[in-house]
Amino acid sequence: MGIVGLLWAVPEEFRCAVRLAQSSHIPLNEAELQTLGITHADAGAVLGRSWHLPAELVEVMACHHNPQKALHNPALVSIVSVSDLLCRVSGIGYGLPEDRQTNFLEEPGFALLRAQFPALLPFDWARFTFEMEGVIEEVYSTVNQVYGAAQ
């Protein structure tokens, strides 16, 4: 929601942030902060509060890049955080794949989930990501069917 809000409110400045993210190979939220002084997470939280969405949803919008800051439902924020990161490094989402190596086991969202749900401790992330590569085309196809455009 924050990306849509930024595109509506400051389209040219947002495009500059996207170009910076692409050229510098940094996450979009970092480029937004440098370019706009706020991120799509900040903008999403403003929209969520103005629409009187439940605090848990506003927190997801605000904290999905920093799940360790979540107070209401850290598990929900962490799930969205890990899912968002999976999409970004896989090139699924807003059309700006992040070209970086990620150790998901060291990500704050996954660390929070492991702490809250001990059954995740033996999770084989390497196997999961390997198997995910096998279904990524199906995921792309589904995303394209839902959104009607190539990612």
Query: b/e string for 58-76 if b means 16 or more Cβ within 10 A?
Result: bbbbbbbbebeebeebbeb
Do 115 and 74 have their domain in common? yes
Domain count, the chain: 2
Question: Which structural domain, as residue segments, surrounds residue 10?
Answer: 1-53
Do 77 and 46 have their domain in common? no
pTM for the model: 0.83
**Averaged pLDDT, 59-80:** 96
**Averaged pLDDT, 17-44:** 94
Share of residues in the chain with pLDDT > 90 (%): 52
Do 73 and 31 have their domain in common? no
Do 25 and 79 have their domain in common? no
Residue 148 has pLDDT above 80, yes or no: no
**Averaged pLDDT, 123-142:** 79
